[in-house]
Structure 1
């Protein structure tokens, strides 16, 4: 492979089909113009960071769809279903179980009325130190989160371009660098200039591209597979399982539940929660967020179907990691022309940028409002803070590009984002509903969780323990036997049968991973050592006599997740019990926010209503589910209660639809 210079790569890009170039050029022009137009509407910091709190249900739906659907979605789901069967859909579909939380989250965080997530720590815990620590965490978190999409999008577009005649012989790293440069430049231009307003407007445009990206391959690939008969003939029944086997799959029912609780434990502290404050009222926030996420669920199903169709059309040995979508695109769409390749590339770019723009603006807001403004420049104009926010946003997207360039592992980057949230998750969860939660407990939780879950596990990799043979063992490779199978072309391809239709049996061997470390590395002398992170929870369970070495991969990961979730919550609860809560006046002020609805009336009226409720907070106890306790949980009104039931019903129906598809697939 030859290494091409960036200038040569740009010249090569113009060798794409003319229609593809026209589509991409039009897309780029619209995105840049949206940023310039939005820049002229920014009058103050609130306009830039949260769009002036003026968006209704329609735009909130599209911005939440765009912000939560990054390019790692289609790439990761298609890749996992291609390699693991239909159960691979759970790498993304597990979020459907959290839909009820999403309905309530929009209500809670819109009522808090903050500009940034870090404002929560300063208001609830009266701690600027906690707010500062969270601001630093948010900048790092956003960089890692954006890098997941950058890596996935880059790998997939590289898969498309590498199959194009113009890019034959060009090494993948150079292609990846070109895609990265174009994406970062575009995102900087419109996101940094226009702030959240530009992000929301372009998210609407890019959401349309993403919906197109999700469905365009399915009908064409379905025809190439010779319809349902060809699909059933080519895909073995066990690959249609909704959950994988406990012995050989990473997607068992209990590992999916563990993934749900891992996400739930940290979601309250996910940087970007306060973006719901761009909505003009709480109902716009709730409906917009949930509608956007249900659209995403249908896209997730479409991505999984693409992965399954790829089993019929592609050989696993021919497809590199994370390039299933790209290879399918070239195989299905390239012969048609019509600018479809350009549309798919635009869709992948849009999927990434619709997340990156929102995240980097949120990071800029958090760092500017909670570090720069209070500590470095407390009395400057709004225009000055907007400029600083733009600089911080630019730094975050550039840091994300560096992470993507060096890490290049979508699945591990995704898992890291879920784990990072656990440091602050319990602090936010208990702080929102429990009056005893206090600043000392919050600080202890953040510090101890960071040390126990991240710092110590990383440092151990540089000690003698990392080379101790007792801690270098791997999980047993469990075996699952499938008897009396009717051979499909997929089975013949893998050498399991000599011809299609032959009856055979085969044994599938499950994966094996290190028990005590997240990875093992081998040096030039062939010596193994622990790498990544030490699994502290697994070590503790082992010391208690639990036979962790006999566990399957799914069971081991589930056990590890249990410790990671329980530890920070136990610390937060125990220390809160042993220390004094915040002052009654401060607690009343905070919980009055949580109990005061946000309507579409003027902000002046809203402030007056909030001030009135703060003064008469004790009169609001009748609205608590537990009025005589320290738990402040509001009785849901009819809109929230019925809405929650409807949301749960739709989520259940969707899971039923997924199950029904597996039944159809088996025939």
Structure 2
């Protein structure tokens, strides 16, 4: 990075802090600090949803998966696409709640103040792990851009991660949600730049490096892209790692995301609760998230261009997570225009626009659901805001510690993404079914926590023989697929880069076998020897996945061939089975223990994607079934309070606070005034007949989903 790059980054930081100082003077009370006075229109709501929903880890993640799996790798982030139409409905829910936190909603709906405190504890833990993934991704992205992994005698992450955290604390703590939303507007523009900046420069670099700039234009870069990269990399459901993102796996990821995302704590603000009206809430949430989906498409195209340009790069061969950072450095660096600094600022924006919202929402939960009810119920507005500013530090500091200690982006993300299972069923069922009650919710939280978070670790401790029991150490079949195709220039470059990276690892870790083994594992299998235009054999080995554990270890493992077959197109498939004495490692996958109890135990021929798909039914369905069954045998909630709650949720929000209060008073006085709109009157189910606006908005959103996919496929397959 040059001086001008550092000037760009410093200017960006100063601007964010200045906005925080400006917004601080506008904060008069809790609603100003936590919800910005509920005065945000479509523009700010759109960029708030866009910014809070776009994490710094996602461009890095898409860069890696597209590099290894072709265009189909876009599903590592595009899995949220078909969740977006449902936001047309959920945005209305959050606005009609008229609460400052989702903890307040749990308190009102289930008539339990303690449930709000429990939700606060979940939120703090969730955001510590979720934000830490972004901080870790920033640190990894910055290494190739800055040209060093050391600063002031320390690893770069130990300097950069705390610095970023302090900037977020500075403007977020000072200005509250107003500062967060205005910075999100600026940062949203930066994120869009991040998503498209490398595409034109990368295409032109392809023309200059492998074409003829005197006769070819920018769009000819797409032609060169297809000449250098094999056709298999341009399929949305196929690719070099065919089967990594099959349709059933994408469906399961979408459903899991839909079930859990509604209880992510920031959704009550960015999901519509801070908007002026229901229309602003809906349009902001849906359009903001569609912007993100378009950006995801941009990240995928960028990764394909990087593959064509940098297939021979040794840094990426050794660690595909560095695709984005190396591409930015190699493509933008030589221009010496401050664009490398701008790219880093853009990725910082992706992280900071999420972090500020998360921090403010967490501080609101602490104040509303812990401090006020349990510590000082008579606290003034000024005191509550002060406590909020102090408590907001916990989430950022905690995330910083987790990031520095763990440093495992995938591990941190996996922990965070499964935690919402604790509260997902109580939220969904509570929205639609009067019969669910606080006792059933507590028992459900205990059930989910025990089954999916405690027993996987506890059962192997109570019964250590499980780790070596042949019934639990089975693995899926090892399938080696060998096929032929014509070698491209990328194939040649990848082989050379792999050999160089392997030699470097062997020299660097000659006296450290453990680190050498880890480096070679990350490097992956050797690409085939290739000469452009000649036929090469590509072998891909899948399977060998432990069914009941994260992995199984064996000192004397062998492979026994089960069957061999050759298809009409010449593809040869060899199926083998692992034999030997194994020991399970990591937590028990209790989902598959359930399948075993049900008699569904032969998963030997299941792919990794199928195994992941099969984790869906127990984790999604069981909490709902358990909650509903227990609700039927436990006491109902207070009928009068439930009447008030459902009457409020059916009353359309008026942007004028006084008029809205009057409308609520009318609904409270006559809770049955909307019964003519119920789909199932006279029952405990509160499904309402959808309006024309409901149906139209949802259908338009579904169509937009397919338009985005069509646009991605079209751009990826342009040939000038």
Q: Normalising to structure 2: TM-score of the pair?
A: 0.85
| SS of the residue 2:587 aligns to | strand
TM superposition shift of 1:618: 1.5
Partner of 2:541: 509
- Distance of aligned partners of 1:519 and 1:195 in 2 relative to their CA distance in 1, 3 Å threshold: farther
Partner of 2:124: 139
| SS of the residue 1:550 aligns to | coil
For each residue in 1:289-313, what CA deviation from the matched residue of structure 2 results, as whole angstroms up to 9, or x when unmatched?
A: 1111111111100111121122212
| SS of the residue 1:581 aligns to | coil
- Distance of aligned partners of 1:588 and 1:456 in 2 relative to their CA distance in 1, 3 Å threshold: same
Partner of 2:315: 318
Contact 1:152/1:410 (<8 A) preserved: yes
Partner of 2:286: 290
646, 649, 667: which one aligns with 1:594: 649
TM superposition shift of 1:481: 3.7
User: Pairwise CA RMSD of aligned residues?
Assistant: 2.3
Q: Counterparts of 1:465-476 in structure 2 under 5 Å?
A: 465=465, 467-470=467-470, 471-476=472-477
Tell me whether 1:553 sits opposite 2:643 in the alignment: no
Q: Counterparts of 1:606-621 in structure 2 under 5 Å?
A: 606-621=660-675
CA distance in structure 2 between the aligned counterparts of 1:472 and 1:546, rounded to whole angstroms: 12
CA distance in structure 2 between the aligned counterparts of 1:388 and 1:72, rounded to whole angstroms: 30
CA distance in structure 2 between the aligned counterparts of 1:539 and 1:398, rounded to whole angstroms: 38
471, 496, 521: which one aligns with 2:528: 496
Name whichever of 604-613 and 375-384 sits farther off.
604-613
| SS of the residue 1:428 aligns to | helix
CA distance in structure 2 between the aligned counterparts of 1:531 and 1:168, rounded to whole angstroms: 32
Partner of 1:280: 276
254, 259, 262: which one aligns with 2:256: 262
Q: How many residues align?
A: 643
| SS of the residue 1:626 aligns to | coil
For each residue in 1:16-46, what CA deviation from the matched residue of structure 2 results, as whole angstroms up to 9, or x when unmatched?
A: 4221122112111110101111111110011
CA distance in structure 2 between the aligned counterparts of 1:378 and 1:116, rounded to whole angstroms: 17
27, 38, 46: which one aligns with 1:53: 38
Contact 2:530/2:536 (<8 A) preserved: no
Name whichever of 502-511 and 432-441 sits farther off.
502-511
Partner of 2:517: none
CA distance in structure 2 between the aligned counterparts of 1:605 and 1:88, rounded to whole angstroms: 50
Partner of 1:200: 181
Partner of 1:238: 232
Tell me whether 1:486 sits opposite 2:486 in the alignment: yes
Tell me whether 1:419 sits opposite 2:418 in the alignment: yes
Partner of 1:41: 26
Partner of 1:624: 678
CA distance in structure 2 between the aligned counterparts of 1:119 and 1:533, rounded to whole angstroms: 34
Contact 2:233/2:240 (<8 A) preserved: no
Contact 2:72/2:239 (<8 A) preserved: no
Contact 1:106/1:286 (<8 A) preserved: yes
Partner of 2:301: 305
CA distance in structure 2 between the aligned counterparts of 1:636 and 1:272, rounded to whole angstroms: 26
Contact 1:478/1:552 (<8 A) preserved: no
Contact 1:154/1:180 (<8 A) preserved: yes
CA distance in structure 2 between the aligned counterparts of 1:479 and 1:85, rounded to whole angstroms: 19
For each residue in 1:585-628, what CA deviation from the matched residue of structure 2 results, as whole angstroms up to 9, or x when unmatched?
A: 11111111211111212x12212211211221223111112223
TM superposition shift of 1:144: 1.3
| SS of the residue 2:222 aligns to | helix
Contact 2:69/2:241 (<8 A) preserved: no
Contact 2:487/2:536 (<8 A) preserved: yes
Partner of 2:593: 539
Contact 1:436/1:576 (<8 A) preserved: yes
Contact 1:426/1:572 (<8 A) preserved: yes
Partner of 1:439: 438
CA distance in structure 2 between the aligned counterparts of 1:172 and 1:74, rounded to whole angstroms: 29
Structure number with the higher helix fraction is 1
TM superposition shift of 1:664: 4.4
TM superposition shift of 1:459: 2.7
Partner of 2:159: 178
Q: Normalising to structure 1: TM-score of the pair?
A: 0.92
**Stretches of structure 1 lacking an aligned partner (at least 5 in a row):** 1-15
CA distance in structure 1 between the aligned counterparts of 2:640 and 2:620, rounded to whole angstroms: 32
Contact 1:267/1:421 (<8 A) preserved: yes
| SS of the residue 1:482 aligns to | strand
Name whichever of 412-421 and 355-364 sits farther off.
412-421
- Distance of aligned partners of 1:522 and 1:174 in 2 relative to their CA distance in 1, 3 Å threshold: farther
Partner of 1:223: 204
Contact 1:360/1:397 (<8 A) preserved: yes
CA distance in structure 2 between the aligned counterparts of 1:550 and 1:246, rounded to whole angstroms: 20
For each residue in 1:22-75, what CA deviation from the matched residue of structure 2 results, as whole angstroms up to 9, or x when unmatched?
A: 211211111010111111111001111111111111100111111111111111
CA distance in structure 1 between the aligned counterparts of 2:112 and 2:150, rounded to whole angstroms: 56
Contact 1:65/1:296 (<8 A) preserved: yes
For each residue in 1:506-561, what CA deviation from the matched residue of structure 2 results, as whole angstroms up to 9, or x when unmatched?
A: 332225433212345799xxx97544432101122134242123321111111112
